[in-house]
Amino acid sequence: MIRGTLAGYFSFIFLRWILGLFAGSLLLVMMLDLLELMRVASESEGAGLGSLVLISALRVPALMEEVLPFLVLLGSIAAFMELSRRMELVVTRAAGLSVWQFAAPGLAVAVVIGIVGTLGYNPLATALKLKADEMAADTLGSVQNVLEQSTADAWLREAGAGAEIILHADTLTGGGRELVAPIFWRYGPDGRLAARIEAARATLEDGAWRLEDAQVAAPNADPVRHAEYELPTALTPIQVRESFAAASEISFWQLPAHLELARAAGLPATRFRLQFQSLLARPLLLAAMVLIAATVSLGLARFGNQARRILGGIGAGFLLYVLTQLSRDIGGAGLVPPAVAAWAPAVVAAMLGVTVLLYREDG
């Protein structure tokens, strides 16, 4: 492995390209997000341009986490191209260094970005996203539900004095204050089902759920429909949001606590476990992106066909993204363990990259 000044120089090239692409993409995503916010906010009279810009600025860091692997891939391809164009890779190889030695700084940069992204950037992005949702709820009012990510098939259990309620809802909006299509199962002190309550919408007020168009069905009785129905609760909007929130909206450091809460409530914790393992696997995934970039970039100066090779690298990165999402869906459905679903794409991509480089270097 190269060390000293040369290693620092190569690392600087990789870091400059990756951070430059990150900054440019952040501005582009923010502009697109701001346009969408302005379209949605056209229905609200209290939303000013300054507030929308601030909301968008707070939302964008969380959105950027999804494209981080692509940015590492494109930044690594650009770094290798720059080194090849300046003939610096040629000189390095003429000095007797192998591909593993001058690719090591890029791998180190990717691993460091992955670790910092998991331990620092992810908690910051989720905190800013939560703040943006709170500001949007105050600024945009009723149209806030358009801006929030919702979680389907969410469950929550609340144990009270002598009673227990299990809650299911299709969508959470309003920062944890509104549920769409909720179903409540209320159990008595003896543990038997006392009532099943379905509603079109439920709004959390002080100490109670206010249900709209509710149908209450008790054992051995005909269902009764109510235009409005009140159900006592001790939950707060923050508790509801944390219980129903998408796993991607929960900080890396808070995921273990949510796992314990899910286990204590007897509810499935697959989505939290999958997100936790995905964040742990991020450094390896980013390193795999550098290996993919190396396989398509190292021969540009010698063999030509630059456009085809660059498109091949981008295509390989896109294929890896599709496989990652497919693996997450399979893991989320419980067909494979969450750890396998989270780590398999990164491990497979890294092994393929190493195999191709071994073939080109020593084959």
pLDDT tens track for 245-269: 677 778 888 888 777 766 665 666 7
pLDDT at 109: 94
Band (pLDDT 50/70/90 cuts) for residue 175 is low
Band (pLDDT 50/70/90 cuts) for residue 117 is very high
Residue 252 lies in a domain: no
114 and 61, same structural domain?
A: yes
φ/ψ (deg, to 5) at 52: -65, -40
357 and 285, same structural domain?
A: yes
Residue 175: CA count within 13 A, CB half-sphere: 20
Calpha distance 202→133 (Å, rounded): 19
138 and 29, same structural domain?
A: yes
Cα–Cα distance list, 54 to 126, 128, 208, 302 (Å): 15, 11, 33, 48
319 and 218, same structural domain?
A: no
pLDDT at 238: 63
307 and 220, same structural domain?
A: no
125 and 193, same structural domain?
A: no
Band (pLDDT 50/70/90 cuts) for residue 236 is confident
Q: Answer yes or no: pTM beyond 0.85.
A: no
* DSSP strand pairing (163-169 vs 154-160): antiparallel
pLDDT at 221: 83
User: For the chain, what is the domain count?
Assistant: 2
Domain that holds residue 112: 4-144+271-362
Which residues, 6+ apart, have CB-to-CB distance to 107 below 8 Å? 287, 290, 291
**Most confident of the ranges 125-139, 152-166, 195-209, 310-324:** 195-209
Calpha distance 54→321 (Å, rounded): 30
**How does pLDDT run across 133-163, given as a tens digit for each residue?**
777 766 665 444 434 444 445 677 777 656 7
Cα-Cα-Cα-Cα dihedral of 232, 238, 244, 250, to 10°? -160
183 and 277, same structural domain?
A: no
108 and 8, same structural domain?
A: yes
pLDDT at 150: 45
Residue 251 lies in a domain: no
Q: Say whether pLDDT at 1 is over 60.
A: no
Is residue 264 within 8 A of residue 65, CB to CB? The reply is no
126 and 45, same structural domain?
A: yes
Residue 230 lies in a domain: yes
pLDDT at 3: 67
pLDDT at 66: 85
Is residue 285 within 8 A of residue 344, CB to CB? The reply is no
Band (pLDDT 50/70/90 cuts) for residue 284 is very high
Higher local confidence (pLDDT), 144 or 30 = 30
Calpha distance 212→203 (Å, rounded): 8
- For range 4-28, the mean pLDDT: 90
**How does pLDDT run across 266-279, given as a tens digit for each residue?**
666 777 888 899 99
Residue 259 lies in a domain: no
- Indicate the burial class of 237 (C-beta count within 10 angstroms; 0-12, 13-18, 19 or more): middle
- For range 88-111, the mean pLDDT: 81
Q: Say whether pLDDT at 125 is over 50.
A: yes
Calpha distance 9→164 (Å, rounded): 62
Residue 236: CA count within 13 A, CB half-sphere: 3
Is residue 286 within 8 A of residue 65, CB to CB? The reply is no
Band (pLDDT 50/70/90 cuts) for residue 22 is very high
- For range 227-247, the mean pLDDT: 76
